Amino acid sequence: MGRHMALPLLLALAALVASLPSASLATAGTAGAFDSWLSANQKDFAINQALYAKKAVGDTGSTIDESLSKAEDNKTTYVVDPKGGGDYKTITAAIDAIPEGNTGRVILDLKPGEYREKIFLNLSKPYVTFKSDPKNPAIIAWSDTAATLGKDGKPVGTVGSTTCAIESDYFVAYGVVFKNDAPLAKPGAKGGQAVALRTFGTKQAFYNCTIDGGQDTLYDHKGLHYFKDCVIKGSVDFIFGFGRSLYENCRIVSIVKEIAVLTAQQRTKTIEGAIESGFSFKNCTIMSEGGGDIYLGRAWGDSSRVIYAYTEMSKEVVPVGWDGWNIKQPESTGVYFYRRDA
C-alpha cells in the first residue's frame, strides 16, 4: 500500500476554551504540556470509571455492571430472514416482538440479504444484539436525506434521514452493514445529509460492521460507544456527534474526489453532559477511494475533541490536518492542534 505513510501518527484536536486555565493554554504547544494534559485526563477517568460502572439502574456495584451481567445470563434468540423461514421476515417485526423493558439479552440472528427498512430501536428495549455473518452479511439499507419530505410534508432533517437509529443501551451489532444509499449530495448542497446509523444509547458496541454512506454517515450522537474492526465510509462530516467513543482497528474511507472531512465532533451546545465526550481512533487506517483531499476533522462547536493515535493515514490527508470551521486557528482562539510522530 504505497499510498500510506509509514509513520504512525498521534494527532489530536482539542478546543479547550472553557476547561483549561490560561497558563496551560500558553504552553499547549509543547510536548510537556500535552503529556500533563493526558495524565490529568487519565486521572479524571480513573475517578469517573467507578461512577460510570454503577450508572445502570438498580446496580449495587457487585460486578462492573450488574444489570448487564444479568442480561447476558438470560439470552433469547429470534431468527430474522427476509426470505422467510425464520421467526420474522423484517427486523422491525422482530423488534416489535421484544417485550418493553426486557431484562435479558435478545439476539436477532439476521440471515444474509438486504433488509430494506428504516429501523428505530427505542430506549425501552435494551440489551439487543444484531448478529450477522460478516462474510455474507445482513445489509440494512434505506435512502432518505435531510431534504426528504416526511408524512407532515416537511423535510425530515438530519436525524430523520437515518436508516437505523439505535436509542437503547447495551446494544451490540456484529457483522452488519448499515447503509444509506441516497445519491451522493453535491459539495455544499443543502439537505444532503444522509445518515446510515445513529447511536444514541450508551454502552453500545459494534464489531466487524460496515457503516456506509456519503455526507453524515455515522451520527455518533450520544453515549459511550465502541467500534472495533469496522469500515466507515463517507464524504463530509461522516463521523459526527456528541458521542464518547473509541474506534479501534477501523478503516475510515473517503469515497469522494472532492474534499472529505472525517469527523465533526461536538461537546457543548444543548446535549446534556456532552462535555464528557470525544472521539478516539486507535490503530485505524484512513484511506481514500475517491482521491480527494482529506481533513481529519472540523470543529463543530467550541470544544470539539478528537484524537487519532497510531493511525495510518493515506497521502490524501492534508498536512494541516484539521479545519477550524467557524473557529479560527491558532491556539489563542481556543482551537488547539497537536501532532506528534511516535
Ligand X SMILES: *[C@@H]1O[C@H](CO)[C@@H](O)[C@H](O)[C@H]1NC(C)=O
**Which of the residues are catalytic?**
237
x/- contact string, 147-166, with ligand X (CB under 6 A)? --------------------
Please state, in angstroms and as integers, the Cα–Cα distance from residue 147 to each residue in 66, 194, 255, following that order. 43, 9, 21
Cis peptide before 319 (omega within 30 of 0): no
Of 83 and 135, the one with the shorter C-beta distance to ligand X is 135
Tell me the closest approach of the beta carbon of residue 31 to ligand X, in angstroms: 23
The Cα 235–Cα 263 span in angstroms is 10
Given the complex with ligand X, which of 104 and 290 has the nearer CB atom? 104
Sign of torsion over alpha carbons 32, 36, 39, 41: negative
Question: Residue from 17, 25, 147, 231 that binds ligand X (CB under 6 A)?
Answer: 231
CB closer to ligand X, 99 vs 150: 99
Amino acid identity for residue 197 in this structure: L
Residue from 87, 283, 318, 325 touching ligand X (CB under 6 A): that is 283
Q: Residue 130 belongs to what H/E stretch?
A: strand 128-131
Residue placing its CB nearer to ligand X in the complex, 252 or 256: 252
Q: How far is the CB of 267 from ligand X (least distance, A)?
A: 25
The binder of ligand X chosen from 134, 191, 292, 301 (CB under 6 A): 134
Closest CA to 143 of 118, 117, 180, 114: 180
Instruction: Confirm or reject binding of residue 1 to ligand X (CB under 6 A).
Output: no
| Binding to ligand X in span 102-131, by CB under 6 A | 102-104, 122, 124
Measured CA to CA, the distance from residue 299 to residue 297 in angstroms comes to 7
Is residue 210 near ligand X by the rule CB under 6 A? yes
Please name the helix (run of DSSP H) or strand (run of DSSP E) that holds residue 26, with its range, or none.
helix 22-26
* Alpha carbon distance 326, 307 (integer Å): 20
Judged by CB under 6 A, how many residues of this single chain contact ligand X? 17
Residue 143 engages ligand X in binding (rule: CB under 6 A): no
Distance of closest approach, residue 51 Cβ to ligand X, in angstroms: 26
> Does residue 229 touch ligand X according to CB under 6 A?
yes
Q: Let me know: does 225 contact 265? Beta carbons within 8 Å.
A: no
Classified as helix, coil or strand, 71 is helix
* Positions 239 through 278 that interact with ligand X (CB under 6 A): 249
d(CA 200, CA 144): 19
Please choose, out of 96-104, 269-277, 291-299, 300-308, the segment that lies near ligand X by the rule CB under 6 A: 96-104
CB-based closest residue to ligand X:
104
d(CA 178, CA 220) in angstroms, rounded, equals 13
Q: Which is nearer to ligand X, 163 or 304 (CB)?
A: 163
Dihedral, CA atoms, 295, 299, 303, 308, nearest 10 degrees?
Answer: -10
Residues that bind ligand X (CB under 6 A): 74, 76, 99-100, 102-104, 122, 124, 134-135, 208, 210, 229, 231, 249, 283
